[in-house]
Amino acid sequence: MLFVIIGRDSAEAQALRPKLRPAHIAHLEVFHRAGRVKLSGPLTDGAGSLFVIEAADLADAKRVADADPYVRGGVFAGVEIHPFMQVFPPPEPGKSS
């Protein structure tokens, strides 16, 4: 299943992000190599970041989010996780949506 994870920036995000970014990227890289990160990046209005990941279920998606250094280190004040269904572009045959 696909899940959208939205991390909302904390008041300290601007100061903490540069220190925690290498660990955050390393965390995502593990899931990227496993084919689980579909896309990720910052919201350009400064509100936070968005990730689309593949996870077995909501609990698995929550474990991925909770282990992120941005969550553990206080860059994000809060995280929303929502199940997501890709409609367009159509997912490749045999891929989750």
- Summarize pLDDT for 1-46 with one digit per residue, the tens: 999 999 999 999 999 999 999 999 999 999 999 999 999 999 999 8
Provide the pLDDT for residue 53: 97
pLDDT value at residue 91: 82
Match 């689309």 to its residue by tokens: 52
Q: Domains of the chain by range and CATH?
A: 2-84 (3.30.70.1060)
Q: Are 31 and 39 in contact (CB under 8 A)?
A: no
Could you give the angle at the alpha carbon of 14 between the alpha carbons of 10 and 16, nearest 5°?
A: 80
- Nearest Cα neighbor of 83 from 57, 48, 47 is 57
- Whole-prediction pTM value? 0.90
52-83 pLDDT, tens digit per residue, is 999 999 999 999 999 999 999 999 999 999 99
Q: How far apart are CA 62 and CA 45, in angstroms?
A: 25
How far apart are the C-alpha atoms of 39 and 59, rounded to whole Å?
A: 20
Q: Per-residue confidence at 92, pLDDT binned at 50, 70, 90?
A: confident
Dump pLDDT digits (tens) for 34-47. 999 999 999 999 89
Q: What pLDDT score does 21 carry?
A: 97
Tokens of 3: 């899940």
